[in-house]
């Protein structure tokens, strides 16, 4: 599942490095801008992976990430909020993983790979290890493949990594970070102030690597 950000791009390259042949699933779910889906597409094309775009047309908002009338929260440097922020999209990873599971059964894929991580993150509940573990069980219990004793793995290779570690891993795997997009806003350049920009900046700084998106 490829969002166009640093994490899912790194998870994709990780999967490829482990010998998986990746099929990429992209989601258009009413994000504020289409920059991240363009990024995701270019990353998939970069490694010549098959990809599909799911257009969700969610008839509800419930998140500042999909509701243009809401402001994206800004944070001072190094001060990601302790509460779950308004950018939380209700049940987003459950929706994404359910499509991933469905496509996996159809193409007989071994695993669904998700870039979720729970260290330098915004506190989204559906990024935590316990959540991934439960979805793993659900995948076994709720599919034909699972019922037949074959399993669809749910892999979250970055779940316990810091953003700096993810960037270091990405560098090792030659992830094209210049193609990734993290900013919640769709400007020409990253805003530098939203959660996602802050976490990205912190990661590159701690990894001692220059962010190719920042001039």
173 forms part of the interface with a second copy (CB under 8 A): no
Which residues within the stretch 45-74 sit at the binding site for a second copy (CB under 8 A)? 52-55, 57-62
Asked if 197 contacts 191 with a C-beta cutoff of 8 angstroms, the reply is yes
Contact with a second copy (CB under 8 A) among 21, 34, 134, 178 = 134
Asked if 98 contacts 139 with a C-beta cutoff of 8 angstroms, the reply is no
Comparison of 88 and 204: residue with beta carbon closer to a second copy: 88
Closest CB 209 distance from a second copy, rounded Å:
32
Burial class from Cβ neighbours inside 10 Å (0-12, 13-18, 19+) for residue 144 reads exposed
Q: Which residues of 75-89 are buried (b: 16+ CB within 10 A; e: fewer)?
A: beeeebeeeebbbbb
CA distance 103 to 53: 12
Closest CB 94 distance from a second copy, rounded Å:
4
Comparison of 74 and 94: residue with beta carbon closer to a second copy: 94
Residues near a second copy (CB under 8 A):
52-55, 57-62, 84, 88-95, 97-99, 101-107, 125-126, 128, 130-131, 134-135, 137-138, 141-144, 146-148
């Amino acid at each position: 599942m490829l969002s166009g950000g640093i994490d899912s791009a790194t998870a994709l390259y990780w999967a490829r490095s482990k010998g998986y042949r990746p099929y990429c699933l992209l989601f258009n779910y009413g994000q504020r801008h289409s920059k991240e889906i363009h990024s995701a597409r270019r990353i998939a094309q970069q490694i010549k992976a098959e990809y599909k775009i799911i257009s969700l047309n969610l008839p509800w908002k419930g998140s500042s990430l999909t509701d243009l009338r809401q402001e994206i929260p800004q944070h001072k440097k190094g001060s990601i909020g302790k509460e779950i922020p308004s950018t939380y999209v209700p049940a987003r990873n459950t929706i994404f993983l359910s499509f991933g599971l469905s496509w996996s059964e159809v193409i007989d894929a071994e695993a669904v790979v998700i870039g979720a991580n729970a260290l330098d993150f915004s506190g989204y509940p559906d990024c935590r290890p316990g959540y991934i573990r439960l979805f793993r069980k659900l995948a076994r219990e709720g599919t034909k493949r699972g019922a037949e004793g074959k399993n669809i793995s749910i892999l979250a290779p970055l779940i316990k990594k810091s953003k700096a570690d993810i960037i270091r891993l990405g560098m090792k795997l030659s992830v094209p970070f210049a193609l990734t997009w993290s900013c919640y806003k769709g400007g020409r350049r990253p805003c530098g102030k939203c959660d996602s920009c802050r976490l990205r900046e912190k990661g590159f700084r701690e990894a001692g690597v220059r962010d190719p998106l920042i001039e």
